Amino acid sequence: MSRRYDSRTTTFSPEGRLFQVEYAMEAISHAGTCLGILSKDGIVIAGEKKVTSKLLEQDTSSEKIYALSDNCIAGVAGMTADANSLVNYARNQAQVYLRSYDDDMPIEQLTQRLCDLKQGYTQYGGLRPFGVSILYAGYDPHHQFQLYHSDPSGNYSGWKATCIGNNNGTATSLLKQDYKEDISLQDAMGLALKVLSKTMDSTSLDSEKLEFATMSLDKRTGKPHGKIFRPKEIDALLEKHGLAKPKEGEASGGASTSTTAAAPMVVDS
């Protein structure tokens, strides 16, 4: 039955479903995990990178986390090309608002603006839904720190902690167990790493497989400050929480020691 109604985004099935939108959400469920955690003094966004290579220049490439404005960062899951298009649109909207009102765009208003665009792509013929979900982490003076999630249908909602992408059900269950209302930013960072370590397909965590960012207030100016971690900073954070990948020297240390100890015995004989 669904094959008669899934070729167009503008046609409802008899059950009242838009299959192309559901297919877009299914594509997102196979993308790298991305999670957000709201704390009392900031927000954490962490994501799993699917494209990993020793030849990839990590400082200049971004797959999961983007800066939208001075007071907002975004984490994405889904088709990176679609995400790039929406990120550029969001940045333009934020700059237009800043030029018009000389103030940062409120986070919910920016989220609504993107959701209006996404909803339009489910209503008009000849278009397909964006195959990406987005987490928005930001701050404004009226509502303080806020975390929003939007999907391909154009719906959005506010969250204290949430996850999108692969294994999002498992990650959400872990967040329900360990999340606390008064959690600090540092504890939220540790929780994010803990959840990713249990939900990612890889057996170890390192900067090649992770992207990490925080939104907090600058202690000196009191203004929102988004920080996207560099690879060395991610490795240091993993080591701090005891989740760093064992170094090759440590793994082979025992073997090299025994070889060195055996060598004098051969010479003596």
Q: What is the fold, at CATH topology level, of the domain defined by 2-241?
A: Glutamine Phosphoribosylpyrophosphate, subunit 1, domain 1 (3.60.20)
Chain-centre distance for alpha carbon 244? 20
Per-residue pLDDT for 155 more than 90?
Answer: yes
Tell me how crowded residue 171 is: count the other CB atoms within 10 A of its CB: 24
Give the per-residue pLDDT at 222.
87
pLDDT digits (tens, 9 = 90+) for 48-77: 887 667 777 765 667 789 999 999 999 999
Taking the domains of the chain in order of start, what are their residue ranges? 2-241
Beta bridge partners of 79: none
Tell me how crowded residue 258 is: count the other CB atoms within 10 A of its CB: 10
pLDDT digits (tens, 9 = 90+) for 69-125: 999 999 999 998 999 999 999 999 999 999 999 999 999 999 999 999 999 998 887
Q: 256: which 2 tokens? A: 């090299």
Residue from 139, 95, 94 nearest 113 by CA:
94
Give the per-residue pLDDT at 255.
47
Cα separation, 116 vs 1, whole angstroms: 30
Give the pairing type, strands 210-217 and 224-228.
Answer: antiparallel
Helix residue spans in 121-222 (DSSP H): 168-178, 185-199
Beta bridge partners of 46: 35, 212
Q: Which residues contact 121 (CB under 8 A, 6 or more apart)?
A: 9, 127, 128, 129, 130
Average pLDDT of the chain is: 85
Task: Please provide the size of the chain in residues.
Answer: 269
Output the pTM of the full model. Answer: 0.85
pLDDT digits (tens, 9 = 90+) for 160-195: 999 999 888 999 999 999 999 899 999 999 999 999
Give the per-residue pLDDT at 61.
63
Residue 162 contacts residue 36 (beta carbons within 8 Å): yes
Residue from 166, 229, 211 nearest 62 by CA:
211
Helix residue spans in the chain (DSSP H): 19-28, 80-101, 107-120, 168-178, 185-199, 231-240, 248-251, 253-268
DSSP three-state, residue 162: strand
Give the residue-averaged pLDDT of 155-160. Answer: 95
